[in-house]
Structures are given as C-alpha cells and as structure tokens.
Amino acid sequence: MISQKMYELGTKKSTIRTIFEFGRKRAAEVGEENVFDFSLGNPNVPTPEYVKEAALDILTHWEPSAIHGYTVAPGAPQVRQAIAESINKRFGTHYAGKNIFMTAGAAAAITISFKALCQEGDEFVTFAPFFPEYRCFVESVGGKLVVVPARTADWQIDFDAFAKLVTNHTKAIIVNSPNNPSGAVYSEATIKQLADILRAKEKEFGHPIFLISDEPYREIAYEGFTVPYIPKYYDNTLVCYSYSKSFSLPGERIGYIVVPDELESYEKIFGAIAGAARVLTHVNAPSLWQYVVARCADKPSDISTYVTNGQLLYNGLKEAGFECVQPQGAFYLFPKCLEPDDYAFCERAKKYGLLLVPGTDFGCPGYFRAAYCIKTDTIKRSLPLFKQLAAEYK
Ligand code: PLP
C-alpha cells in the first residue's frame, strides 16, 4: 500500500532527535539549567546584523513580485554572478554565474549532486566518521554508500584503506571538511594525496571519479587551520556550500553547488544537476534568501564563540582524562568514550544531565559527539560533571 522504506525513514527517529527530545522532557522535570545538551548542530551565534539589514532592506524596498516570485531553476542570474565573483576573489578561480547552481542548503546540494551523477550499481565512498544523512541521501538515488574506516589518531584519511575501496563502481567520493562530527580540517597534504590517488584510479578504470565536497562549515576553521579549496587540486570536483552555519540561517534553506568548467563534461553535468533538481521538485532556492546571501557574500562570519567554546570544552575534557583531537573547525568534538560501548557510555552520561551522541551513528563506534554550539556558560558548568562521569571509570 505504501513504501515501506519511506515509512521507516519517516517514523524511525534519528538518535540525535531522540536525545534532543529527551533533553526537552528532562528540562521540564529538573530545570533547564540542569540539562547540558550537546546533541544538536544548530548554530547558537546570532544571525549577523548585515544579514538582517539586507533582508529588511530588500523586503522594504523591492517590489513584492521581485522578492517572492520564482527565479529560474539554477537561481537568479545576478545572485549566481555575485557568488561566482566572491569565490573568485577568495580563491583565485575564474567562475561565472553559469558555474553556480543555487540550492535549498547543503542537504539539497549534495542530494541533487548524487542524483545527477548516480547510475545503476554506482558507489559513493565516504570516510568515517560521517554525517549520517549521507546514507539515506545516497540510497534515495539508488546508489550504495561505501565507508572508509576512520583514522582515529587525527581524523585525516587512511589512504591504504581508501585505495582498496575505490573500485570500477566508484562514481564519487564525499568529503566533509571541516568535519561533522570530528571537528577536523583536512590538511593540504591530505587533499593532495587524495587527488593523486583519484587521478590514478580514473586512469586505471578509464572513467571519471567525482569528488563532492560538502562544505557547510567552510568558514568555521580555527587559527592555524586552512581549508584547501578542493577544485584547485582536483578538476572533477563539485562543491556543495551552505549558509546554514556561516550566517546561522539553517531554517532558511540556502546554499549552492559550484559546477566548475574544469569538470569532465561541464555541460552534461550542469544539465543533469538541473534535471535532478527538477525531479526532486527543487523548483528554485528560496528567492528572498538568494538575494540576501548575494549581498552578503563577501562578509565574514563571526566564529569567536565557537573558538572560545571549543577550547574550553577541549581543555576541560582533557583535564577530566578524555582522549580527544584538538578542535580545528566546525563546532564539534569527537572524544573517545571511556568504555567500548558508546551507547552505554552516553546512557551513563545522561545521569549527569550530559546529552551526548554515540559515535556509532557516525560510523565510528567507541566515540561520542559533543556539539559545542551552545552557551559558553553551559559548557563551563558542564565541566565538573564530565569529571564526575570520568571518575566512575577510574
Ligand atoms: N552536511 C553536513 C556535514 C552537515 O553537518 C549538515 C547539517 O548539519 C548538512 C550537510 C546539511 O546542511 P544544510 O542545513 O545546509 O542543509
């Protein structure tokens, strides 16, 4: 009668949502101040003033039909041009408006890219730990997700494992740096090595292997860590960008795909992206927000809260005895649990009001994710509780 697969996807709550809802219930029982919710990646830095001002100015001064009307499917031409120019200034690229396809955030950008590329039997390779939605996005277009085991020492890439998993069936590689959930930024050396291996594999198999760079956290990289612009290292790259985190606009659904000329058959891929967006009923990215982000494209993001929070939590966890890689970007830490069973560990943490997400959800058992896009004071007050939790294991 109905699609069992869709029913399961729609009714099985994600672990993150379940923890978040538990937190809301618990807050009603014991008070908001006694719940330390590290579960959700919802930015807590306020949307910048210049974004609000741009939205208000457009809403006040433009013709309503110009603001709220449909745009052409890839986005308003002046928006695409403004974004292309902004990227060119930053990265020395040579994009024009035709290289930008506006989307409803990164989720739409990656799903459209998967759909545009996927043929029967295709595999999409990603690296643990990974954003759990990749699996359902890839499977929704008929592809298979292949996961490279994590390199836990520094969350860079285990290239030996990777090289074995790239086969004749590999259509694309998905990378996400700065990473959710590890907080790592792939170094230039990592990107160069990845590009070299892919070029060799393309030669070996005689077909292109695409790199899909999922970059919602691009702007959130800390001092000493630079996020390489991947199309400069590897031609067959699609960049999926979002303003959800950089401008704290996750609910407005705005982002884009960069479709470079350097891709093997740009025209065909751009056409397939337009077709994929069409069948996914992505009529156009939200019009108002296209105009707003185009105006703000060159503006910086304020990441100071994340810098403070990341350092505070990292130092506190280290002091409590946790093994953890230093925060490099995004707003997550991914420490090792104090027992092998990450579900049992996160369950135990709940006793202290600490709401953490088991690493298994990200393809990396034995670890937990702590999202630190929360109030700095909440983090400060949580540190003695992490110590008490750790003491249980001594
Ligand atoms: N990719 C990663 C790695 C994410 O963490 C998220 C959201 O948290 C997304 C994609 C989706 O972002 P958007 O809100 O732009 O759809």
pLDDT tens per residue across span 268-313: 999 999 999 999 999 999 999 999 999 999 999 999 999 999 999 9
Q: How confident is the model at residue 15 (pLDDT cuts 50, 70, 90)?
A: confident
Tell me the percentage of the chain whose pLDDT exceeds 70: 100
Over residues 225-246, the pLDDT tens digits come to: 999 999 999 999 999 999 999 9
Can you say whether the dihedral through the CA atoms of 154, 160, 162, 163 is positive or negative? positive
CA–CA distance, 335 with 307 (Å, rounded to integer): 17
pLDDT of 193: 98
Over residues 71-87, the pLDDT tens digits come to: 999 999 999 999 999 99
Closest to 197 (Cα-Cα) out of 226, 158, 252? 158
Can you say whether the dihedral through the CA atoms of 122, 125, 126, 127 is positive or negative? positive
* Cβ-count burial 81-108 (b if 16+ within 10 Å, e if not): bbbbbbbeeeeebebebbbbbbbbbbbb
Tell me, in angstroms, the distance from the centre of ligand 1 to residue 391's CA: 35
State yes or no: pLDDT of 14 exceeds 90: no
CA–CA distance, 62 with 41 (Å, rounded to integer): 34
Closest approach atom of ligand 1 to CA 214: 1
How large is the average pLDDT for residues 185-206?
Answer: 98
Closest approach atom of ligand 1 to CA 41: 8
Closest approach atom of ligand 1 to CA 106: 15
Closest approach atom of ligand 1 to CA 254: 15
Tell me, in angstroms, the distance from the centre of ligand 1 to residue 197's CA: 27
Pocket test for ligand 1, best of 242, 248, 361 (most atoms within 8 A of CB): 242
387: three-class secondary structure by DSSP: helix
State yes or no: pLDDT of 69 exceeds 90: yes
CA–CA distance, 374 with 377 (Å, rounded to integer): 9
pLDDT of 21: 87
Closest to 132 (Cα-Cα) out of 332, 364, 339? 364
Closest approach atom of ligand 1 to CA 108: 16
Q: What is the four-CA torsion angle of 189, 191, 192, 194, rounded to 10 degrees?
A: 120
For 241, phi then psi, to 5°, come to -115, 160
Tell me the percentage of the chain whose pLDDT exceeds 90: 93
Omega of the bond prior to 384 within 30 degrees of 0, cis?
no
User: What predicted TM-score, i.e. pTM, was given to this entire model?
Assistant: 0.96
385: three-class secondary structure by DSSP: helix
Reported as half-sphere exposure (CB side, CA atoms, 13 A), residue 223 has a value of: 5
From residue 133, alpha-carbon distances to 180, 256, 275 in Å are: 11, 18, 22
For 76, phi then psi, to 5°, come to -65, 135
Q: Is the CB of 129 under 6 A from ligand 1?
A: no
pLDDT of 271: 98
Tell me, in angstroms, the distance from the centre of ligand 1 to residue 133's CA: 9
CA–CA distance, 393 with 320 (Å, rounded to integer): 11
Assigned token pair, 206: 């005689």
Tell me, in angstroms, the distance from the centre of ligand 1 to residue 329's CA: 14
Over residues 198-226, the pLDDT tens digits come to: 999 999 999 999 999 999 999 999 999 99
Local structure of residue 103 (DSSP, 8 states): E
Residue for token pair 């004071």: 377
pLDDT of 277: 98
Closest to 378 (Cα-Cα) out of 3, 145, 110, 32? 32
Residue for token pair 């029982």: 29
How large is the average pLDDT for residues 34-49?
Answer: 94
Over residues 319-349, the pLDDT tens digits come to: 999 999 999 999 999 999 999 999 999 999 9
pLDDT of 13: 79
Q: Is the CB of 257 under 6 A from ligand 1?
A: no
Q: How confident is the model at residue 17 (pLDDT cuts 50, 70, 90)?
A: confident
pLDDT of 364: 97
343: three-class secondary structure by DSSP: helix
pLDDT of 12: 83
pLDDT of 280: 97
Cβ atoms 349, 389 nearer than 8 A: yes
Q: Is the CB of 213 under 6 A from ligand 1?
A: no
Pocket test for ligand 1, best of 114, 179, 180 (most atoms within 8 A of CB): 180
Bridging pattern class, strands 100-103 and 255-258: antiparallel
